Structure 1
Amino acid sequence: MQEVSIWFAFFAGVLSFFSPCVFPLLPAYVSHLTGGRVEEGRLKVERSLVLTRSVGFILGFSIIFIIMGASASFLGEMFTAYRFYIEQIAGILIILFGLQMIGWINLSFLMKDTRKFNTSKKGTSFGSFLLGMAFASGWSPCVGFTLSSILLLAGSTSTLTQGIFLLVIYSLGLAIPFIMISFSLTKTVSVMGKLNKILPKLNVINGLLMIILGFLVMSGKMQQISAYLATYNLFF
């Protein structure tokens, strides 16, 4: 199951970044982290500062995500004898998350928002780190469905290391576009308007991928697909 899960975790991280209530707020995040401001169609700030503050933010949310993955994997190891039932439950939940993301169902209790975000003060390196941790802990409506799916996968892996690795890959998928778009803002903010137009489509793609993944987990096909890919060296 590992090879398929790795790629799903990475693309899930990328799609989480482009969720409708994370991506549009990126200029506010970068402005807060660096103390820069938008003038003449671009964010005026030193690019080196963008890099250091972005890295701090990424480390902050990565640590929280990894801790979540370790906890899920630990629980999964404790219930190894019930792995079949865990996979069935995980598959059903992942499918529900996908349906919710597409908009085919509406489970209001999944939309609770606990984030706190203040743009009134200039950020610091340590503040960027703390803001990253706060982002990971409280931005549940935006990344919660996708993240929960990765955590469910982590809980169904055979070892603690595999579960942690999935969350590292998920964090990497979220981090790469964050840095790339942050740097692009120092040249022009017009990229935000162009990408905003495709966000609803990305949300649907994310939801469909989660539904497919849920059925694969429930059917046990994940292991078969991974074995096939490993046999023909189609991944690593």
Structure 2
Amino acid sequence: MIDAGALSAVSFALIAGITTFFSPCAYPLLPGYVGYYVSQTDGEEPSLGGALSRGFIAGAGVLVTLGILFLVAFQVSHATLSNLVYFEPIAGAVLVIFGVLIITDRAPSLSVPLPKRRSSLLGFGIFGSGYALAAAGCVAPLFVGVVMRAVSAPTTTGAMVVGTYVGSVVALMVALTVVTGMGLVAAGQFARFGPQLKQFAGVVMILAGLGQLYLSAVLLGVL
């Protein structure tokens, strides 16, 4: 049975993964992705098989990029493991600040170019990879928080934390591609709900930052 500490870490990773996917400086890329999908399949009948294949390729792009980021982060973390605990309050404070910037609409925005060649399945993988990089960079303190929990936890729990975080982002990318391929969403829908999702992401990041500051002050005794 999973203990309370592991459940808390995995729950944090799940929330972090969802927040990463809808991060405010990556979320504006999604209407372009929907439009790219439509342009690639113009004239084709909606196909679940085709949507799934494109979704898995986009998800693979996410998986590869996040996998590389975690490998690099783990190398750095293990090299400075004795001082890793001191990064917890820093990450928490940055999360709170960045959350406030999001709510006040001062967060940065990013762009990821998409290939223009028709029928390019590779283009979906490129977008998935670029989106993951933009999203993780947008919420870097949150990503660092996931890394710290994975590194400081037992091996099994750490693997669950990383798997939950990466899996949630991959699953959302696959789901988005499939519902787009089946004609269930349009680019305009993202623009319509964008402000609400940005506010939600900002609130979640502030709460996550406060949680990390609490962990630093009460449980780790850093502050």
Alignment match, 1:25: 32
**Number of residue-to-residue matches in the alignment:** 210
Do 2:88 and 2:216's aligned partners in 1 also have CA atoms closer than 8 Å?
no
- Structure 1 unpaired stretches of 5+: 225-236
Distance in 1 (CA, whole Å) between partners of 2:111 and 2:183 is: 31
Distance in 2 (CA, whole Å) between partners of 1:31 and 1:53 is: 12
Distance 1:119 1:164, change over 3 A: farther
Pair 1:121 & 2:118 matched: yes
- Partner of 1:199, secondary structure, is helix
Alignment match, 1:233: none
Do 1:57 and 1:129's aligned partners in 2 also have CA atoms closer than 8 Å?
yes
CA shift digits 1:119-167 (9 cap, x unpaired): 343213x554344333333xx3x55333541233313531595556544
Deviates further, 94-103 or 191-200: 191-200
Do 2:58 and 2:128's aligned partners in 1 also have CA atoms closer than 8 Å?
yes
Distance 1:187 1:222, change over 3 A: farther
Alignment match, 1:9: 13
Distance 1:14 1:30, change over 3 A: farther
RMSD of aligned residue pairs (Cα, Å): 3.3
Alignment match, 1:133: 129
Residue 158 of structure 1 is aligned with which of 152, 156, 159?
Answer: 152
Distance in 2 (CA, whole Å) between partners of 1:49 and 1:5 is: 36
TM-score (normalizing by structure 1): 0.71
Distance 1:150 1:200, change over 3 A: same
Distance 1:56 1:223, change over 3 A: farther
Do 1:73 and 1:159's aligned partners in 2 also have CA atoms closer than 8 Å?
no
Do 2:112 and 2:127's aligned partners in 1 also have CA atoms closer than 8 Å?
no
Distance in 2 (CA, whole Å) between partners of 1:190 and 1:204 is: 21
Distance in 2 (CA, whole Å) between partners of 1:117 and 1:130 is: 7
Distance 1:155 1:75, change over 3 A: farther
- Structure 2 unpaired stretches of 5+: none
Distance 1:145 1:6, change over 3 A: farther
- Partner of 1:197, secondary structure, is helix
Do 2:55 and 2:178's aligned partners in 1 also have CA atoms closer than 8 Å?
no
Distance 1:135 1:206, change over 3 A: closer
Pair 1:52 & 2:80 matched: no
1:158 maps to amino acid: S
TM-score (normalizing by structure 2): 0.74
CA shift digits 1:28-65 (9 cap, x unpaired): 34346xx302x7xxx73432121112111111211211
Distance 1:128 1:91, change over 3 A: same
Counting aligned pairs with the same residue, the percent is: 17
